[in-house]
Amino acid sequence: IQMSYPDVTDLLKPMGEQDLFSILWNFVGISPGYEIFVGSCELIGSFLLIFRRTYIFGALFMCTVLCNVVALNTFYNISVKLYSALLLISVIFLLLPFFNKLKPFFFYNRKISLEELKYPIVTSWKRYFFIGLGVVMVGGTIVFTILKDYKIYRMELTNKKHQRLYNIAWFVTKDTIPP
């Protein structure tokens, strides 16, 4: 719901009179499918960062998604350029320890192994407890936020789709004489 459906006045405003921020906001707001796709990619990439087995793939995936976000924020002059660039730098920082292992794969077309040392929790009930706790906390937060935002999104979308632009030729109140 970050970029909501544009108002009627925004849709009728000539392109030459809009700034880059408004153009991008209206372009993305008019297409909820693109918004859902990009949001899903961000959510999937974040989810992949949680687990050790998918950590590197998640960081690479988030690099591609955040490159798109940083490019849109920079070239359309969105005010959160620094924040999105900081997120991209953070993901690149997470990949730095694996750079020497990933370089042969991407640049020399060689097979690599990304296996690391593991420090398992020996007691099974502790392992299941921490996994369950993590899933409940992360999943609950995600589901709660999605449901809350979806409710707000549907209300705004319904409100904005019912807007109309009227050409008023004359207006009569109690103390005016009708034409």
Inter-residue contact 21 to 172 (CB < 8 Å) = no
pLDDT for 42 equals: 92
- Residue whose token pair is 């640049």: 107
Tokens linked to 76: 């359309």
Q: What is the pLDDT of residues 22-41, one digit of tens each?
A: 888 888 888 888 888 998 99
Closest CA to 167 of 8, 17, 6, 16: 8
pLDDT for 45 equals: 94
* Range picked from 93-97, 151-155, 159-163 for highest mean pLDDT: 93-97
pLDDT for 101 equals: 84
The structure's pTM equals: 0.65
d(CA 15, CA 128): 56
Q: What is the pLDDT of residues 125-139, one digit of tens each?
A: 888 888 899 899 989
pLDDT for 70 equals: 95
Label residue 88 by pLDDT band (50, 70, 90): very high
Inter-residue contact 62 to 91 (CB < 8 Å) = yes
- 79 pLDDT exceeds 80? yes
